[in-house]
Structure formats: structure tokens, C-alpha cells
Amino acid sequence: MQALITRNDIAKYRQISKTPNDSKLNEMILDAQLLDIQPLLGEKLFNAVIASPESYPDLLDGSSYEYEGTTYTNYGLKMAIAYFTYARYMMFSLVTDTPFSVVEKINNDTSRPVEGTTKKTIYQLNRESAFKIWENVALWLIRTGNSEYKKYCGKNTNRSMRFSKII
């Protein structure tokens, strides 16, 4: 499957190191596309965008548009994918599966067991931001009358985050 964004697209919205493993980041981009974006767009539109991204510049890159006499801004699907990817990157990028267990790499010679509370908070906050951006893109799809998206309107678009505290 084709990745719809690159490291540079993520760097437009979130501060991301220039040195991490690109194959790990690309894995996170594909996960965000498949697990976060596909259910929101719907299978038919998602597959059309993957097959021919150049046919959807306003959807991917965003644009300004008029609706009922007011000018709005569509932030673009790339921005939503960047936030979903960044959330995954913050949560999982340093986690490496080794023969000795899952560890967090500190440098080339040192690793330690993964501690996740701070990463989980950053992950959840970035996912919430990604959903807000997605809501903006969904409004653009609805307001501009995207017929492929209308079939899925109301399905999987009202996802919300739930927080619970285990004592």
C-alpha cells in the first residue's frame, strides 16, 4: 500500500526527529492510514484515494471553500494522518521486539524495559487532536457533496475518546 504522507508532512505539524528509522515511521504511517483513516473515510473512498491520490488534492492537502456564504478552511487528510501517525510514533517508536523481550532503546548499546504512562498521555492527546482535524475534513466532505463519502456519513465519524482511571 502507498503511504499518503512522508516524514516531511509530519514535520509540518509536529516536531519529529530527523534521525529515527524511516522503516519504523513508514510502518506507523501505514497503520494510521489503515486503522485510523480507513474506518473514517469508508472503504470505497479510502481505496480510491490510495489508488489515485493525485485525483484528490483538496481532500489530501486541504483548501478553502465556500458554504452558505461563509468561507471555511479544510485542513486536509494529510494533517489528520500526520497527527494519527505522530500519536503512534510517540507511543511505539522506541519499542523494539528482541529475543529478550520488548525493550526501549536508549542508544545503540543500552536499552531498558518500556514505561508507558507519559507516552500514553501524549498518544491520547495527539489522537484527540487528530479526531478534531478529521471532523474538519468530514465537514468539508459533507458540505462539498462528496458522493462517495455520503454513503458512509454518520458511520464511524462520531468516534470519541473515553478516559477511565483504574485505582
Domains of the chain by residue range: 7-57+72-93+125-150
Bridge partners, 103 (sequence order)? 96, 113
d(CA 127, CA 131): 6
pLDDT above 80 for 9? yes
Residue with cell 529478550: 100
d(CA 24, CA 35): 16
Taking residues 30-43, what's their average pLDDT? Answer: 94
pLDDT, tens digit, for every residue of 67-104? 999 999 999 999 999 999 999 988 877 666 566 555 56
The larger pLDDT score, comparing residue 112 to residue 18, is at 18
What 3-state class would DSSP assign to 15?
coil
pLDDT above 80 for 55? yes
